Amino acid sequence: MIAVFKREFKSYFLTPIGYIVLALFYAFLGFVFYNYYSTGSPDIVSVVSAPSLISIFFVPILTMRLICEDRRQKVDQALLTAPVKLVSVVLGKFFAAFAVYALCFAPTVLFELIFATKVKMNSMSYFYALLGALLLGAALISIGMFISCLTENPAVAAMLSIGVNLIAYLMPYFSDLVKNQKYFGWLSKVFEKMAFMNAYESFNNNIFKIADVLYFLSIMAIFMFLCVRFLEKRRWS
């Protein structure tokens, strides 16, 4: 797993992908931070949570090459036939993408310290917001990595991931649309359960619930399991 992690993490910075994602993410965070700082209303939770929407678009850039690039370059057979557990391969790739994603939020530590010079900050609010952002990103990474298994084209993988992420993001709106429908009202609860943004918002509201943590961990486990099963099928086919 460590060898796979090192290879994948390094690959992000041997190509422009890692630099582009970090640069754009930092620019967006800096813009949001400046707006709150310049208006004299320091709100670190809003700064941390603001990138949640753009994560829907940025995470697929990190995940689009994780599996399908190996297939496209015909090097996946080396991994599939190597005497290593496919779980280790999947985890190595997952943690490499997650490490880059976590780096995107590194400036928020500095922002929190700067805000603390202005007003008394609630450190737990920052911690919960950051935890929520990282769990959301981890869930999106697991989804994107599975989708990367389904195609040999990174661009197609990215577009499919963005589409799935947008649908998941809009689940609360779908829930409201069918809530009062005579025959489809039951779908409202289904959509509500599938809306990971509801669980994410709890962290931004300074509410820590084990159920929300388990919700995101379940998404990660399901899609990484599917990824492993897909690779196992290819190994023995």
Q: What's the pLDDT at 182?
A: 66
Tell which residue, 85, 100, 84, 90, has the closest CA to residue 67.
Answer: 90
Residue 99 has pLDDT above 80, yes or no: yes
pTM assigned to the model? 0.90
Q: How confident is the model at residue 141 (pLDDT cuts 50, 70, 90)?
A: very high
Per-residue pLDDT band for 227 (boundaries 50, 70, 90) equals very high
- Domain spans of the chain, in order of start: 2-236
Q: How far is CA 140 from CA 56, 62, 95, 175, in A?
A: 7, 10, 13, 21
Confidence class for position 9, pLDDT limits 50, 70, 90: very high
